[in-house]
Amino acid sequence: MSIILSLETSCDESAVALVSNEKGKIDLLANEIASQIKEHSNWGGVVPEIASRRHLENLPFLIQEAFSKSKLKIKDIDAIAATVTPGLSGSLLVGSITARTLANLHQIPFLGIHHLEGHLASIYLSENHPKPPFLVLLVSGGHTELIKVDSHHKYHRLGRSHDDAAGEAFDKVARLLGLPYPGGPSIQEIARYGNPKKFLFPKGRVSKPGGGFYAYDFSFSGLKTAVFRQIEKLKSENKKLPIEDIAASFEYIVAEVLVERSLRCALDQGLNSIVLVGGVAANIRLRNLMLSQSSKHSINVALAPMEFCTDNAAMIGAAALLRLSSNNIQSSMELGVSARWPLEKSDLLYDQNPPF
Ligand code: KG4
Ligand code: ZN
């Protein structure tokens, strides 16, 4: 059995978890989150400088709380993990330096974790999770990707957004509608009272240079513009904005596009399991549509547990446990942080000559 202390500070959630694995099952011993969302929502989005300062203030308390709730001590810990990429550099640095300092001080191995590998690992925090190969739809504030997982840590990206990520589209459209940040939950809430078929918004496609479209890629910036134009048109006609209908129609089209392209990809690739992870995976309409449409094609769907869709440290701990159990590796103490790094190259985070 291994016990991991994990830290997540890539964006606007400061999070600390203690996880262990026994007989292949991941146990959550502590899971602490200090959300900064309220503070950032005053500015309509994440302010990087505020985010890193708050991580610095929050982390010591969260670590203390995790140890006191789990009744564990630092000497019980087998490895310390922290998100090192991708994310806001200043925020990543706070988690990474805290983890490396503790690891150095107590002579414990350190593991740098790729944030998207963390989101992928959130599926292992659910009771029923599939074994690779499977297709992952990863939808968050920064990413919209279709990733084929051949075996643990063997990733192949088959689709991606060419502009806004799905979560980013939710955040931007919420702003257009005067709804608070983060946009996903605000749109979901108000969309419950709207007609999803009221406005027919476009399903953005990405053209291939030689003609045709990329079957598994996404584009959400045109959709955002279409919503903007619709709002302007209604305003110019002096009509009361049907915010509920606009929100519902937008949410519906995003869910449809994500589900249609994921299914197309899974069927073409002969994969019979789809895994849904990331902040936008918390969206009820998307979850329900994925379940209902996939069952028509006899494709299994595994949904990340609701509480582990948005950023948290439990998923970072789960990813670290998988790294440790598949190969007893660790990262160099020289490993820094990077705002961007491809998931396919996450093995290099365990190289003794780190890539950043
Ligand atoms: O995974 P996450 O916490 O952070 C990133 O790694 O980006 O995702 C945050 C994103 C935000 O854009 C937020 O609006 C979106 O996830 N989100 C949702 C929902 N809850 C969060 N989008 C749609 N429906 C939701 N219920
Ligand atoms: Zn995330």
pLDDT at 298: 97
Average pLDDT estimate for 138-165: 97
Task: Please report, rounded to a whole number, the percentage of residues in the chain having pLDDT higher than 70.
Answer: 100
The arrangement of strands across the sheet holding 134-139 comes to 154-160, 144-151, 134-139, 273-277, 300-303
Which range is least confidently modeled, 17-26, 28-37, 237-246? 17-26
pLDDT at 14: 97
Give every CB contact of residue 296 below 8 A, 6+ residues apart in sequence.
none
pLDDT at 43: 86
223, β-bridge pairs:
none
Give every CB contact of residue 137 below 8 A, 6+ residues apart in sequence.
145, 146, 258, 262, 274, 275, 276, 277, 281, 290
Quick one: 65 exposed, middle or buried, by C-beta within 10 A (0-12, 13-18, 19+)?
Answer: middle
Q: Which atom of ligand 1 is nearest to the CA of 284?
A: 26
Cα(110) to centroid of ligand 2, in Å?
Answer: 21
pLDDT band at 102 (very low <50, low <70, confident <90, very high): very high
Given a cut of 90, whether residue 40 has pLDDT beyond it is no
Give every CB contact of residue 207 below 8 A, 6+ residues apart in sequence.
213, 214
Q: Report yes or no: 316 and 62 within 8 Å, Cβ to Cβ.
A: no
pLDDT band at 174 (very low <50, low <70, confident <90, very high): very high
Cα(167) to centroid of ligand 1, in Å?
Answer: 5
Cα(270) to centroid of ligand 1, in Å?
Answer: 29
Given a cut of 90, whether residue 110 has pLDDT beyond it is yes
pLDDT at 309: 98
Task: Please report, rounded to a whole number, the percentage of residues in the chain having pLDDT higher than 90.
Answer: 92
pLDDT tens column, 15-31: 999 999 987 789 999 99
Given a cut of 90, whether residue 38 has pLDDT beyond it is no
Among 12, 170, 179, the mutation site with the greatest number of ligand 1 atoms within 8 A of its Cβ is 170
With helix as H, strand as E and coil as C, how does 57-86 read?
A: HHHHHHHHHHHHHHCCCHHHCCEEEEEEEC
Is-above-0.95 flag for pTM? Answer: yes
Cα(184) to centroid of ligand 1, in Å?
Answer: 6
pLDDT at 77: 98
pLDDT tens column, 249-306: 999 999 999 999 999 999 999 999 999 999 999 999 999 999 999 999 999 999 999 9
Given a cut of 90, whether residue 124 has pLDDT beyond it is yes
pLDDT tens column, 47-71: 999 999 999 999 999 999 999 999 9
pLDDT band at 112 (very low <50, low <70, confident <90, very high): very high
pLDDT tens column, 309-339: 999 999 999 999 999 987 779 999 999 999 9
Q: Give residue ranges with CB within 6 A of ligand 1.
A: 11, 140-142, 167-168, 170-171, 182-185, 188, 278-280, 282-283, 310-311
- Whole-number Å distance between alpha carbons of 120 and 226: 32
Closest by CA to 262, choosing from 242, 276, 252, is 276
User: What is the chain's mean pLDDT, rounded?
Assistant: 96
Amino acid, single-letter form, for residue 171: D
Quick one: 203 exposed, middle or buried, by C-beta within 10 A (0-12, 13-18, 19+)?
Answer: middle
Identify which ligand lies nearest to the alpha carbon of 174: 1
pLDDT band at 107 (very low <50, low <70, confident <90, very high): very high
The per-residue b/e assignment along 79-103, b for 16 or more CB within 10 angstroms, e otherwise, is bbbbbbbbbbbbbbbbbbebbbebb
- Whole-number Å distance between alpha carbons of 53 and 91: 8
